[in-house]
Every structure is written in C-alpha cells, then in structure tokens.
Chains A and B, each alone.
Chain A
Amino acid sequence: MSEEDDLHWLNALAGRPASGPTEAVGQEARTLRGLISAQIEEDIVAVSTMDFARESALIARAKAEGLLPPRSHRPWFQAAAGLAAAAVLASVLIGLYRTSLPPSETFRGVQDGTVRLASKNPSALKQQIIRELRAAGVPAVGYERLGRLGVDAELKKPISASAREVLERHHIPVPQDGALVIEIDAADQP
C-alpha cells in the first residue's frame, strides 16, 4: 500500500477522476463513496428552522462572550427615583386635566346680585373657583354663611382676559359693579 495508492484512493473517494497503479483501488474507493454518501443521506434528522428558545440561547451566549453589549442596569434607587418622578408628573398632568374640565356644576341664576351655583361637592367647587380666580390675579375669599358656601371677589376694571375666562368656564356673568358674590348649594337641594 503505497502513498501513491492512498492518493489515488482519496481522489476516487472524493469523486475526482483518478488514475492509479491498480484499478482495484479506484473501484474500492468509488464503492465506498457510494455507500458513505448513502449513509450521509440516511443521517437526515428533522430540525426546525426557527426556534426562539434556541435563538435566545445563542444571543445569551453571544452576550456572555462579549459579542453583544449587555443591557445597562441602573441601580435600584435610580429606578425608584424615576418611578417616583413619573408618578408625580402623572398626578400633575391628571390635576391639570381635571382643572381644564368643566366643573360638575349647575348655574342657577343671579339673585339680588348673588350668583347661585349648585354642585354635588360645594366645598370642592368653592376651593376650585377661589384657586382659579386667584391664579387670574383676582383676590377671592371663601365663606360659609347659614350653612351655605360661597366666594367673594372684587374684580377690578378692566377685567382681565384670564378672569373673564374663569367666569365663562363657570357660566358666571360678569358683574357690572365688579363685586362678585357666589353661593354654592348642594346639587340635591332645591
């Protein structure tokens, strides 16, 4: 068995045209080639093309090998601070949203220069009107008289646009003399 024989055998096994000292060597290799080839075909196994668990394992390994940058992990207190800030921001936005909504109130008219409003929550409405008027630069105070809640305010002329906006929001007519008196009844009262 010479080296030349082996190379001849290898070429025939690889499927290349081979010539050598003995045809027996080439014949043997060609027969083996056919059988090995059939053996390779027999070894076919069913493997899914897409497998998310397999892909995840590959990505995890790539990260472990430093091929992919790891995701940044913030300290817990940074995450907590972020959450708290988000909560505060959310509450502020909700507050602003509620403020911009028309209050759940009913305008009942003006009686003897007093604006009559009704609300399911008179106290909250009183506080809201005071807050809004003050924000518009109008000095306003709240009061409680004979079980009724109200707001007193002095509107200086010319009445500012922001003050008019507050009045319009609550359907309150602009007082001629600038003195604003509001009484708020509970909505279930006549």
Chain B
Amino acid sequence: MRACHEGGAAIERALRELDRSFFAILYKGGLRALRDPDAASDLVQETFIKVWQRCATFRGESELLPWIKTILRHGAIARLRRPSREIAMENELGLTDEAAQGIAALSVEHNPTPDEIARQRERAQEFREGWARFQQAHPLHANVLAWVVEDGLSIDDIAQLLDRTPGATREFVSQCRKRARAHLGGWYRLNAEFDT
C-alpha cells in the first residue's frame, strides 16, 4: 500500500507482489463464482487493477485480503447480475411441498445406523448435483449463500455487497432460501425418505 503513494515503478513491483500473494486464493473464489476459468482469471486481474485504483481509499483499519475479496465479489456480482425481477416460487403457505417435507424431516431427531453411511453418500451426491444446478440457474444467489457460509456475511454485509436497501436485501435472502430449496429438492426428498 506504500507503493500506492510512491507510484511509478513501485506500483509495478507491488502489482507483481499482489499477484503472487493473492492470485491463487482469489482465483478459487472467482472460479467458484463464475464457473469459467478464463472469466475467473480475468476477474482477478480486474480486481487487482481496481485495488490500485482505489488503494488511496484503503484506510488500513481492516485486513487487506477481506477488502480485496469484497472488490472481487463486487466484480463477480456485476458479471452475474441479470436485469430480472425476483419471482415468488413458493405456494400460498410459503413453501413448496417438497421443501416443506424435507425441512420437516430435518427436524426429526434420529440415531445413526450402519445403513446411514451408504445413504449419507447418496445424499451427499444428491446435494452436489442439486447445488451445481442451483449455481447454474441462479449463480448470484448461490454465490451469496456460499459467501455467507465462508465469511459469515450478515444481512447488512449482503446489502452493502449488492448495493440494495435493507428491505430489498431481506427479499433477496428469502429468494436465496427458496431457490436453494427448489434446486436441492432431491436432497430434501432423500432426507425425508431416510428419516421415515
């Protein structure tokens, strides 16, 4: 960040240092968000450029990596964002039948049995496939959920990231939840079958 004020050759050195220090971790995040190696690489490069364009605004009160990750995520969101309205997907009760069944099953206490191991593998596979479908269909929603898990984003963090009002952000989170349920339906069903 010192190079930010020195300029010139110091910036070139610092950019190389940035690449060596953070490319790998940012690329993984970019690839997860965009699911395209070239786009992910381009996103990281764009992020480094933005870091230097905004380096004067980095006050150093937080860690560098989270600040850079936020810039990367803003870039990812810009690429993922489509001009579409949120569409309600639930029934009049606020849940799809399948999702309601799966969630009900999750709340049931049960003891592990030997048979569970094979079933757990099956469920894990079902989750992976469902999650991949979710990412494919709604990359922005899937990524925000992954970032919530990864970095514990709060509703305010999400609002800032998406540049939305608190109300619109709450609606977005609600849609994330519903869409995830819709695409993870197979996983919910297996849970229900397993627990009955």
- Say how far B25's CB is from chain A's closest CB, in angstroms: 9
Q: Report the contact-size class of chain A (Cβ under 8 Å from the partner).
A: 35 or more
19 contacts between A and B (CB under 8 A): A1-B94, A1-B178, A3-B170, A6-B170, A6-B173, A7-B170, A14-B152, A16-B152, A28-B107, A31-B106, A32-B180, A35-B127, A40-B32, A40-B149, A43-B32, A51-B19, A55-B15, A59-B15, A62-B49
- Say whether B49 contacts A61, CB under 8 Å: yes
> Digit string of A1-34 for contact with B (CB within 8 Å is 1, else 0)?
1110011011001111000001111011001110
Report the bound CA distance from A69 to B9 in whole Å.
9
* A contact patch SS: helix
- Say how far B93's CB is from chain A's closest CB, in angstroms: 8
- Say whether A59 contacts B16, CB under 8 Å: yes
- Say whether A62 contacts B15, CB under 8 Å: yes
* B contact patch SS: helix
Report the bound CA distance from A102 to B164 in whole Å.
87
- Say how far A88's CB is from chain B's closest CB, in angstroms: 33
- Say how far B66's CB is from chain A's closest CB, in angstroms: 15
List of B residues within 8 angstroms of A177 by Cβ: none
Number of A-B contacts (CB under 8 A): 121
List of B residues within 8 angstroms of A6 by Cβ: 170, 173-174, 177
Q: Report the contact-size class of chain B (Cβ under 8 Å from the partner).
A: 35 or more
- Say whether B107 contacts A13, CB under 8 Å: no
10 A-B pairs with least C-beta separation? A1-B94, A24-B107, A47-B24, A14-B152, A36-B149, A6-B174, A28-B106, A55-B16, A14-B148, A35-B127
Within 8 A of B (CB), among A58-84: 58-59, 61-62, 65, 67-69
Among A13, A47, A57, point to the contact of B145 (Cβ < 8 A). A13
Report the bound CA distance from A95 to B150 in whole Å.
73
List of B residues within 8 angstroms of A25 by Cβ: 103
- Say how far B96's CB is from chain A's closest CB, in angstroms: 10
Report the bound CA distance from A9 to B170 in whole Å.
12
Among A2, A13, A49, point to the contact of B20 (Cβ < 8 A). A49
Tell me the nearest residue of chain A to B175, going by C-beta.
Answer: A6
- Say how far B155's CB is from chain A's closest CB, in angstroms: 6
- Say whether A67 contacts B53, CB under 8 Å: yes
List of A residues within 8 angstroms of B15 by Cβ: 55, 58-59, 62
Report the bound CA distance from A154 to B19 in whole Å.
77
- Say how far B30's CB is from chain A's closest CB, in angstroms: 11
Does A98 reach chain B (CB closer than 8 Å)? no
- Say whether B150 contacts A40, CB under 8 Å: yes
> Digit string of B23-59 for contact with A (CB within 8 Å is 1, else 0)?
1100110011000000001000100110011000000
Report the bound CA distance from A31 to B187 in whole Å.
11
Among A2, A22, A51, A55, point to the contact of B107 (Cβ < 8 A). A22
- Say whether A45 contacts B148, CB under 8 Å: no
Does A39 reach chain B (CB closer than 8 Å)? yes
Report the bound CA distance from A51 to B44 in whole Å.
14
Does A157 reach chain B (CB closer than 8 Å)? no
Does B12 reach chain A (CB closer than 8 Å)? yes
Tell me the nearest residue of chain A to B21, going by C-beta.
Answer: A49
